[in-house]
Chain A
Amino acid sequence: NAGVTQTPKFRVLKTGQSMTLLCAQDMNHEYMYWYRQDPGMGLRLIHYSVGEGTTAKGEVPDGYNVSRLKKQNFLLGLESAAPSQTSVYFCASSYREGARYEQYFGPGTRLTVT
């Protein structure tokens, strides 16, 4: 059981380049999330999805786009990378049990934009 996986684990981009981060989960969870973690800070929600074909903005969505074409996959795109997007990106998925949405996290992707 792989849980939540993220591809790639590391990436270096030049300013203006684009890339897509892939998140995959094998737990049949409805909800998926993309966060970024900057040094000395907690996680901040970028975008999330409550089901296949649906996405919504989180706290810091600017400069990012997402897609959820399949239930098990959630893609995060950077169309024109900027140095301010240097961060560690975490994907998570969750199920719902009443009011409880326990999140399972991927291992993270370390992105550097030069």
Chain B
Amino acid sequence: AQKITQTQPGMFVQEKEAVTLDCTYDTSDPSYGLFWYKQPSSGEMIFLIYQGSYDQQNATEGRYSLNFQKARKSANLVISASQLGDSAMYFCAMREVNYGQNFVFGPGTRLSVLP
């Protein structure tokens, strides 16, 4: 079974608008971490934001915020005020604490920001 699901293969957003990228996950481990990475066309993986399963507040990093709904097992990435440079692939990933260092990545969402 897929541990990380990203149901949006591609998304478009107008420059300066906000956009939400969906991520749902599946785990029975009560302790886990959720990550979002950006992969521009140049290919490198860039860390964006982290949310721990026991964190009480949603994580924020600049224009990025994570809408964490634990009961629904969702960890959506919200990008505010989109910029042309935000056009990239975005990957959601999870690490289950009691399963060692096994990070699992979703298939990704390609975001295109329109001028």
Taking Cβ atoms with an 8 Å cutoff, the residues of A that contact B are 31, 33, 35, 40-45, 48, 50, 56, 58-59, 88, 90, 92, 98-105, 107-108
Q: Is the interface of A mostly helix, strand, loop or mixed?
A: strand
Contacts A99-B31, A99-B52, A108-B43; is A42 near B102 (CB within 8 Å)? no
Are A100 and B103 within 8 A (Cβ)?
no
Chain A proximity of B104: nearest CB distance (Å): 7
Known: A31-B101, A107-B44. Contact between A100 and B50, CB under 8 A? yes
| Smallest CB separation, B36 vs chain A (Å) | 11
Which residues of B have CB within 8 Å of A56?
A: 100-101
Report Cα–Cα, A112/B4, bound state, in Å. Answer: 28
A50 touches B101 (CB 8 A): yes
* Shortest CB distance A34–B (Å): 11
A40, A92, A103, A107, most chain B CB atoms within 10 A: A103
Interface size of B by CB at 8 A reads 27
Binding site for A on B (CB under 8 A): 4, 31, 33, 35, 37, 43-47, 50, 52-54, 91, 93, 95, 97, 100-108
A101 engages B45 (CB within 8 Å) = no
Chain A residues contacting B45 (CB-CB under 8 Å) are: 43, 90, 92, 103, 105
Q: Is the CB of A42 within 8 A of B101?
A: no
B102, chain A: closest CB distance, angstroms: 6
Q: Which residues of A contact B95 (CB under 8 A)?
A: 101
A44 and B101 in contact, given A100-B50, A107-B43, A107-B44 (Cβ under 8 angstroms): no
A103 & B50 in contact (Cβ 8 Å cutoff): no
Write out the residue numbers on chain B whose beta carbons fall within 8 Å of the beta carbon of A41: 107-108
Q: Can you list 28 A-B contacts with CB-CB less than 8 angstroms, sorted by A residue number?
A: A31-B101, A33-B101, A40-B107, A41-B107, A42-B4, A42-B91, A42-B93, A42-B108, A43-B45, A43-B91, A43-B93, A43-B103, A45-B103, A48-B100, A48-B102, A50-B100, A50-B101, A59-B104, A99-B52, A100-B33, A101-B101, A102-B35, A103-B45, A104-B47, A105-B44, A105-B45, A107-B44, A108-B43
Q: CA A65 – CA B43 in complex, angstroms?
A: 24
